[in-house]
Structure 1
């Protein structure tokens, strides 16, 4: 009798231990607790810190510009920098993901890959910059600096954009917040130093700082980081051809344009339909919520680099990335949703809070859907599922623009917030299917949970990398 009572205990203990091992994997708070221990989380944290540093230092830059320069000078300087960022994005949109995806596992010469990518990105950006320059002289007000200065700034900023992708691919993410923080601080100093120069002082402070950051970072990149990466033993190397990388870059470039266009046009749609007054109320909430999507983008980029190193672990790592985004976004979404009115009132005033409150409460939950979209895009990049990536992007462009126009026409700025939320939810449904398809280890054919239970504690598995 006693033996029969004691018999189940040894059998049940392994089951309890296995459950205890798996339980932290599905806890968002466990992701926060493991930030310093798990390589994926360390990488993601560095990139998220970059987002915060850029936002904070950018706010200081433009606040000082408003006090040191006239309104007209700030307007022209801001327009020139916006043009610089736009053409750099057009030139590098598909190339940065290629560096993140192909540097970790490829036997192709890393130096050659980075050099070719830099050449392609700079060439495309300068070509787009020339188009913007011609258009500004023919149809719009000329830029605040001479054409050759603008194109030089475009070339340097393209390298500045691509070097972050190279650092992430080389698993040197810790340098990204450092160089971006240095960029933000030094450009503020130059902004003050060149304040007597008018609108060109804003652009020159930006461009000179970019060059000052690009030179030392790329010296370290080519003389230290790339040779060290080449000497690292990697079990999952394979040869990627330049044509494969070119197709991947082209698909990602088109995807970035399709997914970015509706969001960039949203304030324009509100302005044209609802008017400048309502657009000001809309933009107050939009300017607070929309930049937060970069948190999900940066965590997804960290996942891409780590999963590219070993595709068999893509499912496991995507769960880890998802939990980290959830741990960050849940309190943020609750704060922005429940505290939207007082937050807007403190930052912008009572009238903005009274009219823009509904926008904030509709936009904030969309961040959770955007997290799913980011992970779906990252999984498609890891698996090189270019057709799925393009379908996802095309659906967003096809759904978001007409829905936005229709809802803004009928419901004003509340309709704009609802349109973004609906579009993100629709896109998340497709992205979830892409993401869930990556939760299986294709090399072993085992579901993720079964594989993890056979390996022991998830934290130990990841920490051993």
Structure 2
């Protein structure tokens, strides 16, 4: 009698095996946090596509492009310091003990204050930034823009705070509520506020989300985190402000340079093209950036777990790299093949002008996975100088190549610049990444 399983039985067996593997992964904080952040990116992508699809249908191409440009500018200034604290919070929240709440509050205050100050300087120099941003001229629009920068600064740090507390599973919940309210407000403002409805519908739900999430973080999650880690806190010394400052001194310049890739380039493009063209560009750029975020999600979880269990960094890095590629490679392939179809949902002009850019950005994510895993390992080991060197090198290469290619390829120069730069940097750090992955025991290190 043949013992070969029938196709349905074999398929059932494979599904059972995958289910068991997934459940086993979810018991591991490294994978649980990483999967939660990746799920959040997927949810953000789906709801974001729905949001921008409604915006493309309800608003003119000029209003659509202007809304994108204002949101990009706001996120640039909000992230000037906030993104710099992302690595530090992931690194130090797990080991801060009773000082955790103080660390998070200080990050909120510093990020918000510096972002608003930089945005105020931007408003004072509006004539230098092209016609698109002249909408912010005047006391009322300017004050709303400054408030939006403050709100987004805090909003940016909420997700990494939850990840550092090993509660990243709540991040997708926040994104679902935020995304749905944002879409509802977008529709409601289409006729009442056609010129600025996109920007306003983006900011108001963000401000609304701050209150319940931070009550949850400071009222429940941080106290529980402190109680659960009390035994370990008795035998380990929490990081001092001096140690955190030294880490930031090395990590922040690198993070600031990466910020140039994410936000300065779109602002630069917005100042060079008309509003409608920027709308077509920004849709492809937004989708490409979401795929790139997937590479950063598992890396953030690796930083958290590497800070807690440094002796297991090499093993965790290998696991994170495998899982990241397992998820990202199929996403990249589907995006490259289906890019015209994806963008055509927003209209034929989006597909015509954004397909090649989206494909280039999706392809560039593959070497970015290697870079992000390497950077997360450096953060866990507090090797701040190497962090800064790699990130600054990547940013300089991206900016230089994009500016050099822009006169010849237009907005597609952004995709070519990213692909070339990330392939180059991945090749340069490959030897260090291999040593990190092959290292059996990672010794405890002080802050570099």
Q: Give the structure-2-normalised TM-score.
A: 0.80
Do residues 442 (structure 1) and 442 (structure 2) align? yes
Contact persistence 1:404–1:415 (CA under 8 A):
yes
Contact persistence 1:325–1:371 (CA under 8 A):
yes
- Which residue pairs with 1:208 in the alignment? 204
Superposed CA deviations along residues 33-87 of structure 1, whole A, max 9, x for unmatched, are 7543432222111111111222222222233234444555444443332222111
Contact persistence 1:87–1:125 (CA under 8 A):
yes
1: distance between equivalents of 2:126 and 2:269?
24
- Which residue pairs with 1:92 in the alignment? 82
2: distance between equivalents of 1:129 and 1:277?
24
Contact persistence 1:126–1:154 (CA under 8 A):
yes
2: distance between equivalents of 1:53 and 1:79?
23
Contact persistence 1:392–1:430 (CA under 8 A):
no
- Which residue pairs with 2:250 in the alignment? 251
Q: Which runs of 5+ in 2 are unaligned?
A: 1-17
Structure-to-structure mapping, 1:10-409, within 5 angstroms: 34-107=24-97, 109-136=99-126, 141-143=134-136, 145-195=140-190, 196-233=192-229, 235=232, 237-262=236-261, 264=263, 286-338=285-337, 349=348, 352=351, 362-406=360-404
Corresponding residue SS for 2:88: helix
Contact persistence 1:46–1:177 (CA under 8 A):
yes
1: distance between equivalents of 2:413 and 2:71?
31
Q: 1:343 to 1:316 in 2, by over 3 A?
A: same
Q: 1:51 to 1:343 in 2, by over 3 A?
A: closer
Q: 1:259 to 1:76 in 2, by over 3 A?
A: closer
Contact persistence 1:31–1:327 (CA under 8 A):
no
Q: 1:158 to 1:363 in 2, by over 3 A?
A: closer
RMSD: 3.6
Contact persistence 1:363–1:421 (CA under 8 A):
yes
Contact persistence 2:258–2:395 (CA under 8 A):
yes
**Which among 421, 424, 435 is matched to residue 422 of structure 2?**
424
2: distance between equivalents of 1:303 and 1:103?
14
Q: Report the CA distance between 1:389 and its aligned residue.
A: 0.8
Q: Report the CA distance between 1:109 and its aligned residue.
A: 0.8
Q: Which runs of 5+ in 1 are unaligned?
A: 1-27, 446-465
Q: Report the CA distance between 1:201 and its aligned residue.
A: 3.9
Contact persistence 1:344–1:352 (CA under 8 A):
yes
Contact persistence 1:400–1:423 (CA under 8 A):
yes
Q: 1:41 to 1:69 in 2, by over 3 A?
A: same
Q: 1:279 to 1:185 in 2, by over 3 A?
A: closer
Q: Report the CA distance between 1:210 and its aligned residue.
A: 1.6
Q: 1:174 to 1:81 in 2, by over 3 A?
A: same
Corresponding residue SS for 1:240: coil
Q: 1:111 to 1:281 in 2, by over 3 A?
A: closer
Q: Report the CA distance between 1:291 and its aligned residue.
A: 2.4
2: distance between equivalents of 1:431 and 1:49?
28
Q: Give the structure-1-normalised TM-score.
A: 0.77
- Answer with 1 or 2: which has the greater Rg: 1
Q: Report the CA distance between 1:325 and its aligned residue.
A: 0.7
Corresponding residue SS for 2:317: helix
Contact persistence 1:270–1:278 (CA under 8 A):
no
Q: Report the CA distance between 1:89 and its aligned residue.
A: 0.9
Q: Report the CA distance between 1:271 and its aligned residue.
A: 9.2
Contact persistence 1:270–1:413 (CA under 8 A):
yes
